[in-house]
């Protein structure tokens, strides 16, 4: 009889495997955020894309600037410091504060994307997002749980 050799995987492997919860269907309490790796994998330039979310004044100001130097962003509430690209810093400190940053006319995907740009990509649940946008959390959940990934917004992989 042939002896089948079983190679046991080490319990702790240095090889990165997707976390199990990635396979779990997201719920209203699953946190989402922008997956910057997705942008890299998709070979899309987030900086260029971010430019389209600036206010008219800064769109012009950053027109010829390659504004990707990282600067500190200090959360006014938690004093937490995160490194963000220069263009994102302007977006957070100015453009996102403008009354027309997110309006009822902003598409759901863009509105959610703009929230994450403005909050330094702090993970939020569909419930949180629905509350902030005054839109239906279930619709938000459905949109961002679909196999198609919109603007890199997916369930986040860290706790
Ligand atoms: Zn601005």
Q: Is the distance from CB of 139 to CB of 133 less than 8 angstroms?
A: no
Reported pTM: 0.73
The alpha carbon of 130 and the centre of ligand 1 are apart by a number of angstroms equal to 25
* Calpha distance 98→54 (Å, rounded): 10
User: 58 versus 62: which is more confidently predicted?
Assistant: 58
User: Which segments within the chain are labelled E, that is strand?
Assistant: 31-34, 70-74, 81-85, 124-125, 153-155
Give, as one character, the DSSP assignment of residue 124. Answer: E
Q: How far apart are CA 126 and CA 71, in angstroms?
A: 29
118 pLDDT exceeds 80?
yes
Asked if the model's pLDDT at residue 17 lies above 90, the reply is no
Model confidence pLDDT, tens digit, residues 76-116: 788 887 776 678 888 999 999 999 999 999 999 999 999 99
Distance 87 CA to ligand 1 centre (A): 10
Q: Give me ligand 1 centre to Cα 57, in Å.
A: 6
Percentage, residues of the chain above pLDDT 70 = 77
Q: From the CA of 154, how far away is ligand 1's center (Å)? A: 27
The per-residue pLDDT for range 38-50, each reduced to its tens digit, is 988 877 777 778 8
Tens digit of pLDDT for each residue in 131-154? 999 999 999 999 999 989 999 999
What does DSSP say about strands 153-155 and 124-125: parallel, antiparallel, or unpaired?
unpaired
Beta pairing partners, 155: 32
- Answer yes or no: are the C-beta atoms of 118 and 96 closer than 8 Å: yes
Q: Rounded to the nearest whole angstrom, what is the distance from the C-alpha of residue 94 to the centroid of ligand 1? A: 4
Domain coordinates in residue numbering, the chain: 25-155
Indicate the SS3 state at residue 74. strand
């Amino acid at each position: 009889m042939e002896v089948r050799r079983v190679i046991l995987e080490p319990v702790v492997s240095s090889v990165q495997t997707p976390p199990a919860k990635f396979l779990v269907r997201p719920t209203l309490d699953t946190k989402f955020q922008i997956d910057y790796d997705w942008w890299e994998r998709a070979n899309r330039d987030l900086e260029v894309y971010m430019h389209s979310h600036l206010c008219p004044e800064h769109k012009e100001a950053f027109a010829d600037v390659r504004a990707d130097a990282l600067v500190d962003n200090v959360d006014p509430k938690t004093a937490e410091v995160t490194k963000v690209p220069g263009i994102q810093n302007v977006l957070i400190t100015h453009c996102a504060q403008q009354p027309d940053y997110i309006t009822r006319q902003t598409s759901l995907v863009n509105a959610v994307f703009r929230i994450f740009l403005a909050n330094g990509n702090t993970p939020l649940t569909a419930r949180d997002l629905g509350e902030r946008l005054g839109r239906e959390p279930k619709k938000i959940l459905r949109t961002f749980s679909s196999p198609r990934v919109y603007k890199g917004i997916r369930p986040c992989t860290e706790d």
